[in-house]
Amino acid sequence: MNRKFKRTKAFMSSVVFFGLSLVLVFVLVYGIKYICSVNGNSQIPIYRVDTEDKKVALTFDVAWGTDNMKTIMEVLEKHNIKSTFFLVGSWVDDNKEIVKQLSESGHEIGNHSNTHANMTALSDEDITNEIELTSEKISNITGNQTKLYRPPFGEIDSKSMDICESLGYQVIKWDVDSLDWKEIGPNHVIDRVVKGVQPGSIVLFHANVSYVSEYLDNIITRLKKDGYEIVPVSELIYKDNYTINSNGVQKNIED
């Protein structure tokens, strides 16, 4: 009887130990996952937002030239929409009035570095200077701090991501590349964008390219006809309680 009791006790102890072990593993795995999620997985830029809302962001990289800026702003005003413009600091130096116009028109301004250098080839100090100097230039004109950063050429590594996070930036890339810089013609640009967008998409355009007047109005008209609302990046992305998967898709964490 005593021997049977001991065997039963030993068995129950094993079951309890096994159960506690499973609980501990569960807590560790999902606890770490939750912590990483809340911190936003800062090693991956945002390419697209996971949302059921038919919202998209049209973004413009501005590094040189001014020929199309008036046309772009007129088309956006015609449709009563706001976009996000990622500006290079050296361009800001020569175009303060345009920067002011963008800001006063309600468009969002993001940081695109100071000299459009490949950040992955620079030192920590140089990366920081590239971002902070541009931020200061924009702030001196608009009175607003930039919180969105787009790396030149889309090139970014873990070092640059860490620096951006330390400076309070969210790094923004894109899931739809218009390829307007390749001079592929307006019809191809329109086709790529209209077919490529989905809810939460971030579209990449460049300001100083050909055919802007021929494709931008058309794209916006067709997106609106398809039921899309066009918003600045900051109105599309999550500021906190999110995770970013390996494909750069930002997802909200349910409370």
Q: Which two tokens stand for residue 47?
A: 């390419």
Q: Which residues are catalytic?
A: 61, 206
Q: Which two tokens stand for residue 72?
A: 């772009």
**Which backbone phi and psi does 220 adopt, to 5 degrees?**
-60, -45
In contact, 24 and 199? CB cutoff 8 Å:
no
| CA–CA dist 73, 107 (Å, integer) | 9
Length of the chain: 255
| CA–CA dist 226, 10 (Å, integer) | 67
Question: In 143-211, which ranges are continuous DSSP H helix?
Answer: 158-166, 186-196
CA-angle at 191, arms to 195 and 179, nearest 5°: 100
| CA–CA dist 61, 205 (Å, integer) | 6
The two beta strands, 242-244 and 249-252, are antiparallel
The two beta strands, 148-149 and 48-49, are unpaired
Question: In the chain, which ranges are continuous DSSP H helix?
Answer: 2-38, 69-78, 89-94, 96-104, 124-142, 158-166, 186-196, 212-225
Among candidate residues 66, 99, 89, 3, the one with its CA nearest the CA of residue 206: 66
